[in-house]
Amino acid sequence: MRNFVLAFFAACLSSTFFASAQTTSSSPAQNPKTIAVSQIRAGMRGVAYTVFEGVKPEAMEVEVLGVLHNVNGPKGDVILVRLHGQKVEYTGVVAGMSGSPVYFDGKLAGAIAFRIGEFSKEPIAGVTPIADMLEISALDRSPAEETSAIKPSSISVVGKTSGPGENYSLPGSSQDSGFANY
């Protein structure tokens, strides 16, 4: 019985050791080094990774054309880049590239978000800065406040539809009663 207890204890201890060693060696970097938009200048060169075929990410060269400030709303900066490489110069920027990471000097700058030009094959793309994405991620993890949430109204609207010439407005709305609702 004594040998069984010792063997069981040794087995549990070794499995715990191997499990903890396995999880620490295979965990990805949670906080990669990032570069601020203020440090990005026209002419900088970097690399972006995307999948053209299969599941293997391929590198393509990135050249900064400039930084557009407040284009995507207040504090909504966009890094304007030209992509270089045989495949991307053939395909242009395509929808599947959205989310492809962009690095300058080994630091994460952001992700490809959209192409510039409706029908252009010119490989010019807009990159969403990583700071914007991290800010949204932090907001997603913050606890929701009940006071800031808009609660749905408990007004029943069954049977309260309006047709042409009828003027019905929901309580609290400021519709001018001189106009028909159509």
pLDDT tens-digit readout, 117-126: 877 788 999 9
- The pTM score is 0.61
3-state helix, strand, coil in the chain (%, to 5): 25, 25, 50
Residue 19 pLDDT more than 50? no
CATH superfamily to which 37-141 belongs: Trypsin-like serine proteases (2.40.10.10)
H-type alpha helices, the chain: 2-26, 86-91, 130-141
Task: Assign 25 a pLDDT band (cuts: 50, 70, 90).
Answer: very low
- Strand partners of residue 80: 66, 126
Going by C-alpha positions, the residue among 168, 149, 166 that lies closest to residue 158 is 168
Report whether pLDDT(175) > 70: no
Domain residue ranges of the chain, discontinuous segments joined by +: 37-141
d(CA 133, CA 130): 5
pLDDT grade for 167, boundaries at 50, 70 and 90 = low
Does residue 8 carry a pLDDT above 80?
no
Q: What is the pLDDT of residue 31?
A: 75
Q: Is the pLDDT of residue 176 over 90?
A: no
Q: Would you place residue 173 in the very low, low, confident or very high pLDDT band (cuts 50, 70, 90)?
A: low
pLDDT at 154 over 60: no
